[in-house]
Structure 1
């Protein structure tokens, strides 16, 4: 079962897979104005956060590959990378920015994407903590880029 975001709210919405059970729990909690409503909303947002990480990579690759010539492709890639780096530096704290740069191979880690496990060892925290920081950073970065690009 899919849940489509509001197309009027941005770039056409987003399709995520949500189980029928989750939809039923959401409908029941909303109807009863239950405190469980927030819990179900968090679960749905968690599924959206996972999609954001995938969409971030896809957006970078799509933007870069849409240019026709290799020269234009390189220029477009540099411009897009510069915009993303500026948004990271402007929006995120140093640690969150560094985690994204390491995960996606952005400067100063050019084309050397690092795993969550490797980054967790560098920072001396759990993989889960790095994953949470990454997801939070992607949400903030996405909001910043949505404002500046659209």
Structure 2
């Protein structure tokens, strides 16, 4: 079945699709993945900024900038890569973690702490913050 106003899952994407099109980048699966990436990156940055966590030393400015750029430049191609990883992991949040490990693999400072990307988090920790950011951004 081809997507149309009659075959959309809800009237939001169907009948009102033209009125809410600006929200697709926020409330779509792409949007959720983007916010999950943001939450995971910010968590790693917070770990590095906390002096008591010796296993994740403070990041140099270049490393912080690189992580910020992952969030700022998140693309549909990045989202598609996460979905490809998910076909192997069968786990949406784990796929985001693996995606980020790929992204930092060639930066020695970040690669050294890549096992801490999802450290002490549950999927719900990542998801509830991501959904909150979706609502905050879309409001």
TM over 0.5: same fold? no
Higher normalized contact order (CA 8 Å, seq sep 6+, divided by chain length):
2
Computing the radius of gyration over CA atoms, which structure comes out larger, 1 or 2? 1
